[in-house]
């Protein structure tokens, strides 16, 4: 069912510093920051030859990554995003296997303008998993 690893998301306390680490220390190609007010984050993409690293900074008071950053002051890997061809079919298969879809269980529009679901970390090796319809 799952296809490509679309991205690895890393939540960071200081987005400019994190972008500098990837641009200067690791020598990668790094995008400009983009505010995503409807998602409560600012994103910077690190473009690798085969996938992307999404650096996430908190935006606003109710940012969904605020609690994570309280627990992980230096930052840390927040989620993995896998691509699926049909998100409704993926959801049906997951639910039939007993996996828990977060929120109300229906796909939302994610930060890339595509339909996404998030899956419960306890069902996936302690890893928050995002599925994105490719």
Which residues are the active-site residues? 130
Q: Of the two residues 5 and 109, which places its CB atom closer to a copy of itself in the complex?
A: 5
Using DSSP, how many helices (H) and how many strands (E) does the chain show? 3, 9
Please give the C-alpha separations between residue 4 and each of 11, 74, 81, 123, 131, in angstroms, as whole numbers.
21, 28, 9, 20, 10
The helix or strand, by DSSP H or E, that contains position 15, with its residue range, turns out to be: helix 15-20
Cα angle 52-54-58, degrees, rounded to a multiple of 5: 175
The answer to whether 108 contacts a copy of itself (rule: CB under 8 A) is no
* 103 touches a copy of itself (CB under 8 A): no
Q: Of 33-41, 59-67, 76-84, 109-117, which segment contacts a copy of itself by CB under 8 A?
A: 76-84
Nearer to a copy of itself, 32 or 38 (CB): 32
Nearest CB to a copy of itself, comparing residues 24 and 106: 24
Task: Please name which of 108, 119, 109 lies closest in space to residue 2, comparing C-alpha atoms.
Answer: 119
77 in contact with a copy of itself (CB under 8 A): yes
Looking at residue 102, the DSSP 8-state letter turns out to be: S
By rule CB under 8 A, what count of residues binds a copy of itself?
A: 40
Residues lying near a copy of itself in the complex (CB under 8 A) are found at 1-5, 8, 10, 12, 18, 21, 24-28, 48-51, 53, 55, 72-77, 80, 82, 93-94, 97, 99, 121-127
């Amino acid at each position: 069912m799952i296809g490509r690893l679309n991205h690895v998301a890393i939540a960071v306390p200081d987005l400019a510093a994190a972008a500098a680490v990837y641009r200067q220390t690791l020598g990668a190609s790094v995008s400009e920051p983009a505010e995503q007010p409807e998602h409560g984050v600012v994103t910077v993409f690190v473009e690798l030859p085969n996938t992307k690293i999404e650096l996430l900074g908190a935006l606003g008071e109710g940012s969904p990554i605020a609690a994570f950053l309280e627990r992980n002051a230096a930052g840390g890997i927040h989620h993995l995003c896998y691509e699926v061809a049909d998100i409704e079919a993926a959801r049906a298969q997951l639910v039939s296997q007993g996996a828990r879809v977060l929120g109300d269980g229906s796909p939302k529009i994610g930060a890339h303008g595509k339909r996404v679901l998030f899956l419960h970390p306890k069902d996936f090796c302690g890893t928050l998993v995002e599925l994105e319809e490719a």
